[in-house]
Structure 1
Amino acid sequence: MIEPEAAAAQVELLENVVATAQRLIKAEKDKSKITPSFIAEKVKRAADMFADETHLLVDHQQAVSILIQRFSHWMGKATTLKDEEGHLNWLNASRKRDWSYWRRYRDFQEDKLSDVVVEGLDEDTDNILELLEDPMRLGAWDRRGLVVGHVQSGKTSNYSGLICKAADAGYKIIIVLAGMHNNLRSQTQMRLEEGFLGYETTNDRGAGKAIGVAHFGEDLKTNSATTRANNGDFSKVAARHFHGISPEERPWLFVVKKQKTVLTALLKWLQSRVADATDIDDRRKLITKLPLLMIDDEADNASVDTGEQLFDEDGNPDEEHQPKTINSLIRQILHTFTRKAYVGYTATPFANIFIHHKGATAKEGPDLFPRSFIINLAAPSNYVGPARLFGRMTKEGRVGALPLSRDIIDNYDPQTESGWMPPKHNKNHTPTYNGQETIPPSLRDAVYSFVLACATRELRGQGSQHSSMLIHTTRFVAVQNLVREQVEDTVRRMRQKITRRIDATELLTRMQQLWEDDFMPTRDKVAELSPPQERPPEMPSWEEVLAALPLVMGDIEVRSINGTAKDALDYAAPGTALKVIAVGGDKLARGLTLEGLCVSYFIRTTRMYDTLMQMGRWFGYRLGYLDLCRLYTSPDLVSWFGHIADASEELRKEFDFMAEARLTPEQYGLKVKSHEVLTITSPLKMRNSQTLSLTYSGSRPQTILFHRDAKIQSSNLAATDTLLAAMGAPAVVGPEYARDGSADKWKRSSLWKDVEAAKILSFLGSYATHPNATSAKGPVLADFITKMIEIGQLKQWSVALLAEGDGVGEPHAFSGGISVEKFPMRTPDAPKNPDQPIDPAKFAIGVLTDPSDEGIDLDDEAWRKALAITRAAWRPDPARGHVPSLPSIPSGKGIRMARAQLGGPADRGLLLLYPLSPYAGKDKLPERLIVPDWDKPIMAFAIAFPSSDSAIRVEYEVNLLYWMQEYGPSE
């Protein structure tokens, strides 16, 4: 085993060679010359420079691989919604000329990241800082914004850069609200010591060893009121060490938990020791001479007031409302400063956007709604997020997913709801499998996979980097500890068998089977789905892996990470490359970064949007080992994860279009509040509202949830027949358009134009949508259309019957002589667990419509207008599955906006009718009927509503009971 000092020296040498070679490569002005051979030449030159200083040998191949990836990265563009009322533009080149904090941080980052990523960071932080106020501006000002990143995509790096620039600009007090737990606060403190302070904080709050940015510039003598220690948070005791802060001093940094005692101590200290004035109306202590920047990390967690503030008929807030404690203290701190900027950071912004934009109280001042700006950050091209991990939903099903998830179906018996870890259990639960207090086979395989991943990383030259495994099965600490004991026992037995080669045959046979049947083919599949520069290295042989196992097993530790455990992940220890299996709950759920995460075992039962997304510690950057990563989870969680990822992407697209239209955060808030999937799944943060108020303007509701009942299917088919009979002969059979050389054709489809709205309303009144459907509810749709007709819109419609597909079923003759013999196919969801019965009452599909179908009634001129709108709003973002090239076809949203901007179809909706195949596959087998005793088409529909500036909204009661039963309580 390599000694820690030698391992640290080896890592340092590689980092130095890579950084030096990167500078040599950057000096080449002709970027076309930067080829793999050119990079290899510079690596050799850099390695030669260090050859005389050390006896160690650098891994040239690894250095070249790192640099090839860095120089092939690309960054997407951030998108911004802003409200500049009262804001003065101030950030210019001359103001940035002598910025020492940022220069240190930029050089520090360039040593580790590609130029493209650092340039993107520079641009993004400039955009955010410019939307704050000039700290030199006198008088009172208040800016509040939200930065939305992707989970585990580098938000800490972004706000570290923002803090550096804010300090250079003149912000004097910088408060970072860093989660709810000590180890997350400590981790954030250490990251800011490395990126901003330049020194390790000591227990007496002095400056210790120089680190991070200190090696890239002078010591800037920055003050920190908090330390990296577990108990290094701000407190009454700590406050005694600090007196007032004068405007001439270097900035002060406070990294604090969102916890009542901490925030109360900070508020009292600010009011008693720092305040320099008193409010003439309510005698509040005020700080007028020191501008504040508050960064709220994980801003949707704890910061949001979940109490319901009332508003009168004129929209004025109840000033006597008592917010929840954390929200109140954060707002009181802000309210103490006359010059302040608040920036929330999160990957799940929806709770923040539910905050009422006029919410305010006398004691706390305004609520935390991001009224000044919302910025959607893009990620670098090497980021692995939901779109890449879970793929995207199309009418053919989910496509493009990385083959990294593995189903867990042995954690409990669904018949008895008992077993190792059933979805519903209490804090006294004892995990047992087959009557024994031992882990189930799926978790045993997950541990084996982690060991194989560690061994492979060693053989790929990554042994000096951290590797970790996450086990997230329960929120109860006592149950977590039992899981840890069982995993420890498993690892101990493995270590004994592998190192002594005694009684190891069964174990090694299973590990070899995993290697040959899982790891080898998965590597090849990941290579197929990756760009050339990011393809994983070739696999070592099983004999090489086998030889590496004893050393690897000697390094693996099992640790608890939970609300009471002292056992934290110390990634800061020099020369320590951890191989750790972390068992935990809430601390693993938010913010805490698990370095080198390879394997996740995840069976938490929640499917609440923001809770689940934040638990996605498996997203992030996996340079050189993506193919070794595994996500062991339940099949329904994979399905639900894809569902909410699709819903989130839908709202990000909406954001892009609204930004292009120069709308404000308040207007975006109204759109988010009308999105059922993302609002219903977080009822507490919606103020427990059971009535959903929404607008269908610019949306495309579609039926994806259906009754598994032949009578209802017969009724829906009859409703379609009645509509077609009422419309008469179609205007066009087999619509076809040139589309600038790439024709759109619907050979077997029919199109009606200028259909009166009354016929659409009659159809919606006869068609039985499923009561648990989210957006496609017939009565609610009819209510919305009726209200739009009253203001002169949606009076005329286009209707299309889409019969493109190869699905089988009994040929059906619709009214008017329209016959369909082959049908569009949509595969219904089916349980992956063979023990789980098919729901006899309902079934669901993923996506009904193809975006191009929305253009079936648009001529080429209108289609080109829709394409122009789509391109204007489009922003490349690899985390969302975008390639860095302009779209060649319009999006559905672009088409709906074009409808509103074109004179003809401005008030025209589009009803799309789909006669779906009644069989689950192309083969006509009776046992594959989707609906028992029904072999005629299953009628589905979608409606494309043109975007409208009207404020028409409809309200309906949300079936919260259904969602709570289906998806569990919000956590």
Structure 2
Amino acid sequence: MKDINKKIIKAVSPIVEFALMEFENPSLEERDEIVRAKVKEFLSEHIEGKVSSAMLAQVNEEQIVSTIRISTCKWDYKVQVISDPTNHIAWLTEEKKSGWSYWPSYAEYLEGYLDDSTIENLDDSTDRVIEQLEDPCRNESWDRRGLVVGHVQSGKTGHYTGLVAKAADAGYKIIIVLAGLHNNLRAQTQLRLESGFLGFETDEDGETGRSIGVGNIRAPGIKPNAATNRSEKGDFNKSKAKSIQGISPEEKPWIFVVKKNKSVLEHLLNWIKKRVTDSEDSETGKAIVDKLPLLIIDDEADNASVDTKEQVYTQDDEVDSEHNPTAINSLIRQIMHVFSRKAYIGYTATPFANVFIHNKNETKREGKDLFPNSFIVNLIASSNYVGPSFVFSEKGQRLFTRSITDNVDNKDAPEIGWMPNKHKSNHIPLYESQAILPPSLKEAIHSFILACCTRRYRGDGDEHWSMLVHVTRFNNVQGIVSEQVSTYVKSLKQKLARGIGQEDILDSMRELWNRDFKKVNEALLPEDNVEEREFNIKNFDIKCLPEFDVIEENLLSVLNEIRILTINGLAKDALMYEEFKEVGLKVIAIGGDKLSRGLTLEGLMTSYFLRASKMYDTLMQMGRWFGYRPRYLDLCRLYTTDDLTEWFSQIAIASEELREEFDIMVAKNQRPHEYGLKVQSHPGLLVTSPLKMRAAKEFKLSFSGDTSETVAFSNVADIIKSNTSAMEALINDIPPNLITKSGYSHTNYESKFNGIIFDGVKSDLVINFLEQYQTHPDSYKSNSSLISKFIEQMNSVGELTNWTIAIAGGDKSNQTFSLGDITLHASRRAKLLTSDDRKISIRRLLDPKHELLGTTELQYQEALSLTVQTWKNQGMQGEQPSFPKNTNIRYVKGKGLHANRTKALLILYMLEIRNKNQLEPDNKNLVPAFGVSFPASNSGVKVPYIVNNVLQQEWNLEYGGSE
């Protein structure tokens, strides 16, 4: 964006904010009119006729309007906190902050990039985090360990840069940022901290370079010390350790940006022991650092920092003090153990592994483990964040995901083809026996080129444009893929430049433009029904597309700008965003592990993804396509397999469930270890590698306060028939006098339940049904055998003995079905695509409002009150909720003022499975399905789940190699 446009945005934004204050809750249309009017007014009074014609030509009114519109619509960095105040003294006051300089300069620096409200929210949320630490001036020993949970590609680096600035202002003297596993990610983090905190460039000789970022804002004498530099080899090493003689309490703060690497951390630990220790532990005689407070910020804290070695615990849950942790975990903890005053904050979007850490772990050499005992902070994504629940909603999948089916030769030979799921490091990618790209990857490249041309048309020509190709973890295979992509892109350029053979290319791109791009754009920009849009598209400022002729004129010039880079441990390529910040880097990035964590792909529009994994956190972190997509959301595409789309969909659901559990704990003032216990027993099993769960063979699961719904089904006729019989047997066994009513209406729930309800059913009938029903092997969360065992164990403590059973009815246009003497219309669900013909998958089964069945009026009101309280805690905008969240319904049923833990809810469905807009059902046989809603419980009852050796080996393989 040109400098004059940035200056106009900075000047007009506060004018718009002031104007919007006159409206209590302006509609999107009112907001749009205000923004446009104020921009036009400013241009008329201050720009037109008062600047040179050359400068006036650079003014882009539409871009100014859209940027301000987006900034005034979003809310960033709202937070939720659960904390343990044990041994913590509140300390952060306005008086304490009065002499700060690092944070004010960072806030002023951000004014060139963010609107005032976003900076204010960042200020507030970083205050909420740093106040959970200890006052660095508190002289007695203290130890604070916490976790900040953000979203993938949501601005965590910007957040912890603000935290670093405030920590330095407060008096932390040694600040260590653990920045991933690879040199390029460490260097990227160093660059960002140079602009946002250090204020100067660093070079390999340790010399201070020219002032940049905050260095051009704050007073010249205010300058922290850098122990590492921006070069690829600028990490802390033996040479650097020799050059830094020591640190005194009077010195300016030192910052170390280091990899999570055994050698690097050993050098750092040895240097601290030799040059920084200043006292001795009175009990052990160990040399310690007493005068310098330490802060460690662990970026991607779930990666490498967690001890994955199996541990032995006694029956009383006592830990082994002689346990030998994994190297990285051990060294991080040893560094902390040297300091008497220290704080650790992990940042991650996937906190599963971190809360699986045993909260009592402690060893003699390392001290306490990295469980966030002190606090967990949940960063709430802004309204214009594109996350899993957005992309993998039913509508999101239809708009943004594209199916890859040509990575293998055929279904009967899944190990043969261009890039089968299971392949070795010597694999040669061949499509139809030729070393060429499959059609799906060619189309993805065409999609990227069309997206680039559109962004140029929209005035974003000097922005970064990126495409991700992530299909294998093996460096050698990545190299071959890179050669094939380069060859194909080169052939496109040659044909378009010479005009020979270009017709086929133009016809293909024109067809893709009309079939895909125009339809997606039109779907996001309907002329009416603005209030009914699933996505609040004004937050992304989508514009209409030009005709293809306009795109065609730019194809060759855009192709000439695109670079193909291989990003892995063997390649010399690097993502040179900083080098191209004035004109924008246009890149197709091909890689594996180095692209899967932390490393940001700026302006990512097209992703081609084949990496198979069943670990929630691994898949989530590989999702580089999440993030912010202002002005180009309609151009973004994710090419992946149907199976991975299904997995991501389930991940999105599980992640949202856990965040909702977090909200309840905030409202109820609970402690971090309680959240850890909840996540550890969550029945969405594959949240992380079992190595990180510290259990080699067995997991303990609880369904309390959760739902279980069948979303994966066998497509084998005999199994469908058997499950239908199990359901019919259940209904026949229920005494007819238990039917309560044929329709259901809650006082505050006007929609009627279109089905039959039985109340007071004994649990043995439910257990028997679940034992007879055969769930699909992929139904990890709705395993009928596990659920039946769980109910049996809950019965032994007097819970879940009394059930409400409902049979859901669907629309009258659907087929009818009979269970015993009951006849209803089937429910309809959309079929998700899958590569397995023997399997049927849907996104969700339960209608959220069905969980109100069996809820009393008092429970309803309490759940609604808790929902509103959470909404207020989050600082949300708009109308307050009028319907309780389902997690809150389950909570009050089991732990509320009017709890009844003997009651639970089973809902039965008969499903018509259809593809979108399909007139006839996809399956001739109706598919029987069930959902269970369990009340929350304090019983602590869990059921064991055994992982077989084959699955164990698959998980180990996934984590067994890296670049």
TM normalised by structure 2 equals: 0.92
Contact kept? 2:153, 2:627, Cα under 8 Å: yes
Contact kept? 1:454, 1:552, Cα under 8 Å: yes
Q: In structure 2, do the counterparts of structure 1 residues 884 and 207 end up closer, same or farther at CA, with 3 Å as the change threshold?
A: farther
Q: In structure 2, do the counterparts of structure 1 residues 418 and 792 end up closer, same or farther at CA, with 3 Å as the change threshold?
A: closer
Tell which deviates more after alignment, 623-632 or 539-548.
539-548
Contact kept? 1:151, 1:616, Cα under 8 Å: yes
2:408 matched residue in structure 1: 412
Contact kept? 1:21, 1:43, Cα under 8 Å: no
Of residues 651, 655, 664, the one that matches 1:644 is: 651
2:857 matched residue in structure 1: 860
Q: Is 1:510–2:529 an aligned residue pair?
A: no
3-state SS, counterpart of residue 254 of structure 1: strand
Displacement after TM superposition at 1:865 (Å): 2.4
Contact kept? 1:17, 1:50, Cα under 8 Å: no
Displacement after TM superposition at 1:39 (Å): 2.6
Of residues 906, 921, 938, the one that matches 1:912 is: 906
Displacement after TM superposition at 1:583 (Å): 1.2
1:353 matched residue in structure 2: 355
- Letter aligned with residue 735 of structure 2: M
1:316 matched residue in structure 2: 318
2:790 & 2:690 partners in 1: Cα distance? 24
- Letter aligned with residue 798 of structure 1: T
Displacement after TM superposition at 1:733 (Å): 2.2
1:542 matched residue in structure 2: 548
1:256 matched residue in structure 2: 258
- Letter aligned with residue 377 of structure 2: I
2:178 matched residue in structure 1: 177
Q: In structure 2, do the counterparts of structure 1 residues 282 and 462 end up closer, same or farther at CA, with 3 Å as the change threshold?
A: same
Tell which deviates more after alignment, 644-653 or 912-921.
912-921
Of residues 716, 729, 740, the one that matches 2:737 is: 729
Q: Is 1:114–2:115 an aligned residue pair?
A: yes
1:470 matched residue in structure 2: 468
Displacement after TM superposition at 1:25 (Å): 4.2
Q: Is 1:564–2:563 an aligned residue pair?
A: no
- Letter aligned with residue 823 of structure 1: A
Displacement after TM superposition at 1:245 (Å): 0.6
Q: Is 1:760–2:766 an aligned residue pair?
A: yes
1:353 & 1:280 partners in 2: Cα distance? 33
1:960 & 1:806 partners in 2: Cα distance? 48
- Letter aligned with residue 656 of structure 2: E
1:487 & 1:718 partners in 2: Cα distance? 53
Contact kept? 1:829, 1:844, Cα under 8 Å: yes
Q: Is 1:689–2:696 an aligned residue pair?
A: yes
3-state SS, counterpart of residue 678 of structure 2: helix
Displacement after TM superposition at 1:13 (Å): 3.1
Contact kept? 1:606, 1:968, Cα under 8 Å: no
Deviations 1:50-106 (A, max 9, x none): 825975632222122211221222347322121111111111111112211111111
Deviations 1:559-616 (A, max 9, x none): 1111122211122225342111111111111111111112111111223211111111
1:848 & 1:612 partners in 2: Cα distance? 23
3-state SS, counterpart of residue 9 of structure 2: helix
1:768 & 1:475 partners in 2: Cα distance? 36
- Letter aligned with residue 101 of structure 2: S
Displacement after TM superposition at 1:507 (Å): 1.4
Of residues 289, 298, 305, the one that matches 1:287 is: 289
2:60 & 2:920 partners in 1: Cα distance? 61
Contact kept? 1:798, 1:908, Cα under 8 Å: no
Contact kept? 1:14, 1:58, Cα under 8 Å: yes
Of residues 601, 614, 635, the one that matches 1:594 is: 601
1:7 matched residue in structure 2: none
Displacement after TM superposition at 1:738 (Å): 4.8
Matches within 5 A, 1:591-740: 591-679=598-686, 681-708=688-715, 712-724=719-731, 725-740=733-748
2:778 & 2:425 partners in 1: Cα distance? 32
2:692 & 2:163 partners in 1: Cα distance? 28
2:244 & 2:476 partners in 1: Cα distance? 40
1:304 matched residue in structure 2: 306
2:930 matched residue in structure 1: 941
Of residues 794, 799, 803, the one that matches 2:805 is: 799
Q: In structure 2, do the counterparts of structure 1 residues 308 and 503 end up closer, same or farther at CA, with 3 Å as the change threshold?
A: same
Q: In structure 2, do the counterparts of structure 1 residues 922 and 809 end up closer, same or farther at CA, with 3 Å as the change threshold?
A: farther
3-state SS, counterpart of residue 564 of structure 2: strand
3-state SS, counterpart of residue 164 of structure 1: helix
Deviations 1:501-522 (A, max 9, x none): 3332221221222222222222
1:851 & 1:489 partners in 2: Cα distance? 51
Displacement after TM superposition at 1:655 (Å): 1.1
Q: In structure 2, do the counterparts of structure 1 residues 897 and 409 end up closer, same or farther at CA, with 3 Å as the change threshold?
A: same
Tell which deviates more after alignment, 261-270 or 857-866.
857-866
Q: In structure 2, do the counterparts of structure 1 residues 872 and 568 end up closer, same or farther at CA, with 3 Å as the change threshold?
A: same
Displacement after TM superposition at 1:237 (Å): 0.7
2:538 matched residue in structure 1: 532
1:12 matched residue in structure 2: 3
3-state SS, counterpart of residue 307 of structure 2: coil
2:138 matched residue in structure 1: 137
Q: Is 1:273–2:267 an aligned residue pair?
A: no
2:917 & 2:482 partners in 1: Cα distance? 48
Contact kept? 1:172, 1:251, Cα under 8 Å: yes
Contact kept? 1:608, 1:968, Cα under 8 Å: no
Deviations 1:909-954 (A, max 9, x none): 2332424046658999999545xxxx5x654333322212222222
3-state SS, counterpart of residue 631 of structure 1: strand
3-state SS, counterpart of residue 210 of structure 2: strand
2:956 & 2:520 partners in 1: Cα distance? 31
Q: Is 1:870–2:867 an aligned residue pair?
A: yes
1:374 & 1:469 partners in 2: Cα distance? 34
Q: Is 1:377–2:350 an aligned residue pair?
A: no
Tell which deviates more after alignment, 697-706 or 301-310.
697-706
Matches within 5 A, 1:763-782: 763-770=769-776, 773-782=779-788
Contact kept? 1:76, 1:876, Cα under 8 Å: no
3-state SS, counterpart of residue 35 of structure 1: helix
- Letter aligned with residue 38 of structure 1: K
Deviations 1:324-375 (A, max 9, x none): 1111111111111110110000111101111111111111111111111111
Displacement after TM superposition at 1:280 (Å): 3.8
3-state SS, counterpart of residue 95 of structure 1: helix
Contact kept? 1:607, 1:968, Cα under 8 Å: no
Contact kept? 1:806, 1:825, Cα under 8 Å: no
2:217 matched residue in structure 1: 216
Deviations 1:524-576 (A, max 9, x none): 22335443353312222322222222322221111111112221112222534
2:187 & 2:175 partners in 1: Cα distance? 16
1:294 & 1:924 partners in 2: Cα distance? 55
1:900 matched residue in structure 2: 894
2:916 & 2:958 partners in 1: Cα distance? 39
2:306 & 2:49 partners in 1: Cα distance? 54
Tell which deviates more after alignment, 704-713 or 614-623.
704-713
2:404 & 2:726 partners in 1: Cα distance? 43
Aligned-residue RMSD, C-alpha: 2.8
1:606 & 1:905 partners in 2: Cα distance? 40
* Long gaps (5+) in structure 2: 24-30, 527-534
Tell which deviates more after alignment, 335-344 or 277-286.
277-286
Tell which deviates more after alignment, 728-737 or 424-433.
728-737
Contact kept? 1:730, 1:750, Cα under 8 Å: no
Q: In structure 2, do the counterparts of structure 1 residues 921 and 443 end up closer, same or farther at CA, with 3 Å as the change threshold?
A: closer
Q: Percent identity?
A: 42
Contact kept? 1:197, 1:222, Cα under 8 Å: yes
- Letter aligned with residue 855 of structure 1: L
Matches within 5 A, 1:493-504: 493-504=491-502
3-state SS, counterpart of residue 377 of structure 2: strand
Tell which deviates more after alignment, 450-459 or 412-421.
412-421
1:537 & 1:546 partners in 2: Cα distance? 19
* Long gaps (5+) in structure 1: 1-9, 392-397
